[in-house]
Amino acid sequence: MSKRTVLTGARVVLPDGVREDATVTVEDRHLVDAAGPGEAAELDLGGHWIVPGFVDMHVHGGGGASFSAGTHEESLTVIDTHRRHGTTTMAASTVTGDLDDLSRQAGSLSELVEQGELAGIHFEGPFIACNRRGAHEESLLRDPDPGDVRKLLDAARGQAVMMTLAPERPGGLDSVRLLADSGVIAAVGHTDGSYESTREAIDAGATVATHLFNAMPPLGHRAPGPVTALLEDPRVTVELINDGIHLHPAALQLAFRAAGADRVAFITDAMGAAGMGDGRYPLGNLEVEVREGVARLVEGDSIAGSTLTLDRAFKRAVTVDGLPVTDAVAALSANPARLLGVADRVGSLEPGKLADLVVLDQQFEPAGVMRHGAWVVPPHTP
């Protein structure tokens, strides 16, 4: 006899809006409409919210570990850390390295994708602009030659879902076309390109803006730059790091007004310090120091990813940025799930989808996390 979990009394965020005092029924790892025969465990979650599990399409590390280490042990530590903060689906992001090392990392990560632990691999670098490199080692940057791009895709064994590149570099547009033809997201980021070159990249098939506003020329009234091109085009979804450090609330609200809630994806861009305390951590071949939760390179002082988890991004969105809960859910779950090609299984609370959900209290603090019908963090209620 199957075991059924029935969650009652919560505010549930569904694709068509918020349902008050609702019931969510889980059976055999999936969401179902209503209770039927079987052994039922009922839990009253009155005063709480139930939202879909968060989906992070850009995350490098957490729990003191990094995907770039290229080992299953470290990768599973990252995954577990973020799951406990509500991220039930994630793509693993790499950091600039030499092609052989990145290929080795991709081989290890692809196994975790095949096992269902990850939703795919995101290559961030080495095909990015030197002047906008951020926390990427300059000596390892290179032009996006399509042959090199193909090498990384092959190393990922069909599990690559996204690659961030600077399309203005030689070979950039051909590489964007190659990625689009291969079913891999071409993301514009760490770019020194112009409005015009970014438009060319979008026309060639680029569909994502990697952490919009960061690591690209600022918006100007005479030189509108990539920010304007990426915000104005309905074919593009923009990533935002909502940690209060990478973006001023006014910039975040501008992005939502310009792009609309269905074209924004909140990401963490988290490195190894996520879920940890201050201290020094590796990021690829570079060293990062975290002070008061802000990660910066030891040499150069550039912001080096974040220590963000998506539960904090959600709370900030609704309590500081003033976003409707439904818009926050779209940016944290539905939109990234669509981009990663997993929206048929996750990203919204609908019958037949996997039972991935987050329970939040009245202050939007996480009170429970379920993945595939099993509690990662059992709900705690007053």
Identify how many contiguous H helices and E strands the chain contains and give both numbers: 10, 21
Distance CA 50, CA 265 (A): 19
Q: Among 94, 124, 90, 120, which residue's Cα sits nearest to residue 215?
A: 124
Contact 92, 75 (CB under 8 A): yes
Which candidate in 192, 269, 311, 356 is catalytic? 269
Contact 179, 161 (CB under 8 A): no
How buried is 30 (Cβ within 10 angstroms: 0-12 exposed, 13-18 middle, 19+ buried)? middle
**Residues 145, 60, 184: CA angle, nearest 5 degrees:** 40
135 is in an annotated binding site: yes
Contact 34, 26 (CB under 8 A): no
Single-letter amino acid code for the residue at 128? I
29 is in an annotated binding site: no
* DSSP annotation of 303: B
Q: How far is CA 199 from CA 149, 222, 233, in A?
A: 21, 16, 9
Q: Rounded to 5 degrees, what are φ and ψ at 233? A: -95, 125
137 is in an annotated binding site: no
Looking at the DSSP bridge assignments, the partners of residue 32 are: 25
117 is in an annotated binding site: no
214 is in an annotated binding site: yes
305 is in an annotated binding site: yes
- Is 269 catalytic? The answer is yes
- Please report the DSSP string for 294-323 in residue order: EEEETTT--B-SB---HHHHHHHHHHTS--
Binding residues for Zn(2+): 124, 190, 211
Catalytic positions, written as ranges: 269
Binding residues for substrate: 135, 214-215, 222, 246, 303-305
Binding residues: 124, 135, 190, 211, 214-215, 222, 246, 303-305
